[in-house]
């Protein structure tokens, strides 16, 4: 995308998506497709490790899934099992070394891992291991898990894994590849989603159900919080526990923005949850207007819900350039400000002279909202009522989302009225926390983590932050440097 991406897309970023397949012909191709469907969870890098039971094959690089993989390197990835990863990363720590899956030859044989989440005590474990002589290659928190397992005095891999994972704090939905098995594990809080599916006689693990849909796999169930699933040729799926207690803390932002609308996440249809957000918003913020429009595409579901609940007609007030992708080059400093326009163009014939309700899914820094309100106004809208289908974001996430510094979180700095003025809308409303949680059906409101809206985290965080690891940097030159 843009060098300065915030100017066209002001969203929080997920850090990863994971996928695994076991016991299927052309495993790496299925894995490629799974990652393709999970591309929205990470656009900075992608990797697959496959196994033909004796050799591991590795392809990892910076870029989109369709840039990293090609028929030649997919053919190189032999075998009937594979795990894959898509990665989002802030610029600072970007580095080919840090593209997952990680892999090594360990005391339990070859082992690879793909991880979605963030380990909050990884740095202290890392420091201890290094003192003991462990060699570290990356600055990824997940690398400590490989060391812990390899150095474990337990004699079985399962035991080594249980012991290691019980000592790790934070969020992890992980997929491991061993020479003869696929292993999936999810932290006891259940921060990040992870689902299990079947494809013929084989098995599939993925961050979201949309990845199962694409390859024609059937959805079996969620991997439970605190569960370790081991899949082998001989015994199929076997389930174990991470020996540790905690409350549940599903990330509600998966419903707000991260997950794809066509996925089922934490048991609920993402689209229907978002539509319900819109309906609740219509009750919380009734506005007299001529039309309801969304900021496409992430605001579509909620806008439709708002229109349905309010009776105000749903309209297409902006269209999206379907060719805008990561590769867009902003050609020159002086032709700036086209940031918003390159992606979204308002339709004057729809907006002229109208009182408009604009639904957006979230508002992080406020950078693009201002430009969008201005564009809609220039297209002739008489009144602009901006409604956000989630609460104000005031606090950082420590569990796998890359939140900007509090200084840049507009709702941590300004009152709602100040934000309204800043973006230039005639009115501004946010969905309430209670309203948001009321929209979810399968789980109880208290089973969700709302840390980024409230500062109340389900776990005390000792880690200094994402980059504390990088004190002793080794930087590997990559495509994007």
Q: State the Cα angle at 227 between 224 and 233, rounded to 5°.
A: 110
Nearest CB to a second copy, comparing residues 235 and 472: 472
Binding mask 71-90 for a second copy (x = CB under 8 A): xxxx-xx-------------
Beta bridge partners of 185: 174, 228
Output the CA–CA distances (angstroms, integers) from residue 405 to 38, 79, 473, in the order listed. Answer: 26, 43, 22
Nearest CB to a second copy, comparing residues 335 and 444: 335
- Is residue 397 a contact residue for a second copy (CB under 8 A)? no
β 250-251/448-449 pair status: parallel
Other CB atoms within a 10 A radius of the CB of residue 465 amount to: 13
Residue among 480, 390, 478 nearest 97 (CA) = 478
Burial of 54 (0-12, 13-18, 19+ CB in 10 A): exposed
- Is residue 1 a contact residue for a second copy (CB under 8 A)? no
- Is residue 269 a contact residue for a second copy (CB under 8 A)? yes
Q: How far is the CB of 413 from a second copy (least distance, A)?
A: 30
**Cβ-contact 402, 51 below 8 angstroms:** no
Q: How far is the CB of 414 from a second copy (least distance, A)?
A: 29
Q: How far is the CB of 149 from a second copy (least distance, A)?
A: 9
Q: How far is CA 419 from the centre of its chain?
A: 26
Cis peptide before 449 (omega within 30 of 0): no
Output the CA–CA distances (angstroms, integers) from residue 137 to 110, 285, 309, 478, in the order listed. Answer: 16, 52, 54, 15
Which of 4, 55, 283, 446 is the binder for a second copy (CB under 8 A)? Answer: 55
Q: How far is the CB of 52 from a second copy (least distance, A)?
A: 10
- Is residue 467 a contact residue for a second copy (CB under 8 A)? no
- Residue 314: DSSP 8-state: B
Q: How far is the CB of 176 from a second copy (least distance, A)?
A: 14
Q: How far is the CB of 335 from a second copy (least distance, A)?
A: 6
- Is residue 443 a contact residue for a second copy (CB under 8 A)? no
Q: How far is the CB of 456 from a second copy (least distance, A)?
A: 30
- Which residues from 191-230 bind a second copy, rule CB under 8 A? 210, 213-216
b/e code 64-92 from CB counts within 10 Å (16+ = b)? bbeebbeeebbeebbbbbbbbbbbbbeee
Which of 8, 16, 37, 452 is the binder for a second copy (CB under 8 A)? Answer: 37
Nearest CB to a second copy, comparing residues 55 and 166: 55
Nearest CB to a second copy, comparing residues 83 and 304: 304
Spatial neighbors of 343 by CB under 8 A, at least 6 apart, are: 8, 9, 320, 321, 324
Beta bridge partners of 147: none
- End-to-end C-alpha distance for the chain, whole angstroms: 15
- Is residue 347 a contact residue for a second copy (CB under 8 A)? yes
Which of 81, 100, 116, 301 is the binder for a second copy (CB under 8 A)? Answer: 301
Here the tokens at position 58 are 């590795």
Q: How far is the CB of 362 from a second copy (least distance, A)?
A: 17
Residues touching a second copy: how many (CB under 8 A)? 101
- Is residue 2 a contact residue for a second copy (CB under 8 A)? no
Residue that is written with structure tokens 């290094």 in the block: 130
Active-site residues, by number, are 16
- Is residue 308 a contact residue for a second copy (CB under 8 A)? yes
Which of 328, 412, 416, 461 is the binder for a second copy (CB under 8 A)? Answer: 328
- Is residue 339 a contact residue for a second copy (CB under 8 A)? no
Nearest CB to a second copy, comparing residues 239 and 348: 348
Question: What is the secondary structure of 428-464 as a DSSP string?
Answer: EEE--HHHHHHT--SS-GGGEE-HHHHS--SS---S-
Nearest CB to a second copy, comparing residues 261 and 412: 261
- C-alpha 444/C-alpha 273 separation (Å) is 14
Here the tokens at position 374 are 């201005």
Binding mask 156-195 for a second copy (x = CB under 8 A): ----------------------------------------
- Is residue 304 a contact residue for a second copy (CB under 8 A)? yes
User: E strands, 367-451, where?
Assistant: 383-388, 401-402, 427-430, 448-449
Nearest CB to a second copy, comparing residues 69 and 277: 69
Nearest CB to a second copy, comparing residues 53 and 421: 53
Nearest CB to a second copy, comparing residues 446 and 474: 474
- Is residue 267 a contact residue for a second copy (CB under 8 A)? no
- Which residues from 95-134 bind a second copy, rule CB under 8 A? 97, 103-107, 109-110, 130-134
Which of 221, 283, 462, 473 is the binder for a second copy (CB under 8 A)? Answer: 473
């Amino acid at each position: 995308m843009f060098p300065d991406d915030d100017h066209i897309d002001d969203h929080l970023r997920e850090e990863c998506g994971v996928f695994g397949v076991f016991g299927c012909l052309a495993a790496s191709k299925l894995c490629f497709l799974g990652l393709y469907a999970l591309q929205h969870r990470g656009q900075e890098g992608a990797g697959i490790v496959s196994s033909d039971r004796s050799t591991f094959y590795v392809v990892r690089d910076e870029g989109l899934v369709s840039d990293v993989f090609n028929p030649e390197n997919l053919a190189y990835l032999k075998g009937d099992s594979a795990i894959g990863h898509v990665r989002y990363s802030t610029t600072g720590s970007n580095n080919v070394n840090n593209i997952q899956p990680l892999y090594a030859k360990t005391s339990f044989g070859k082992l690879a891992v793909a991880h979605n989440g963030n380990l909050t005590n990884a740095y202290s474990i890392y420091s201890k291991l290094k003192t003991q002589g462990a060699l570290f290659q990356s600055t990824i928190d997940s690398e400590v898990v490989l060391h812990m397992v390899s150095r474990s005095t337990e004699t079985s891999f399962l035991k080594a894994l249980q012991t290691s994972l019980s000592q790790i704090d934070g969020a992890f939905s992980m997929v491991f590849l061993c020479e003869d098995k696929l292993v999936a594990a999810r932290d006891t809080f259940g921060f990040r989603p992870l689902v299990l599916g079947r494809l013929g006689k084989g098995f599939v693990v993925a961050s979201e159900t949309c990845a199962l849909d694409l390859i024609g796999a059937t959805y079996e169930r969620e991997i439970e919080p605190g569960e370790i699933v081991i899949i082998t040729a001989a015994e199929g799926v076997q389930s174990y526990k991470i020996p540790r207690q905690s409350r549940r803390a599903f990330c509600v932002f998966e419903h707000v923005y991260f997950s794809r609308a066509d996925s089922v996440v934490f048991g609920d249809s993402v689209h229907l949850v978002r539509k319900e957000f819109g309906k609740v918003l219509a009750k919380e913020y009734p506005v007299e207007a001529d039309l309801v429009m969304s900021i496409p595409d992430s605001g579509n579901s909620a806008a439709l819900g708002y229109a349905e609940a309010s009776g105000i007609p749903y309209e297409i007030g902006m269209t999206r350039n379907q060719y805008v992708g990561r590769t867009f080059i902003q050609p020159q400093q002086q032709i700036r400000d086209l940031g918003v326009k390159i992606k979204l163009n308002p339709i004057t014939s729809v907006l002229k002279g109208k009182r408009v309700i604009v639904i957006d899914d979230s508002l992080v820094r406020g950078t693009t909202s201002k430009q969008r309100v201005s564009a809609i106004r220039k297209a002739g809208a008489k009144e602009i009522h901006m409604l956000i289908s989630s609460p104000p974001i005031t606090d950082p996430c420590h569990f796998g989302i890359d939140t900007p510094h509090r200084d840049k979180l507009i709702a941590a700095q300004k009152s709602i009225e100040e934000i309204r003025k800043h973006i230039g809308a005639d009115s501004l409303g946010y969905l309430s926390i209670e309203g948001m949680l009321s929209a979810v059906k399968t789980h109880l409101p208290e089973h969700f983590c709302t840390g980024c809206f409230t500062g109340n985290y389900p776990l005390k965080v000792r880690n200094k932050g994402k980059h504390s690891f990088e004190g002793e940097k080794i930087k590997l030159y990559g495509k994007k440097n």
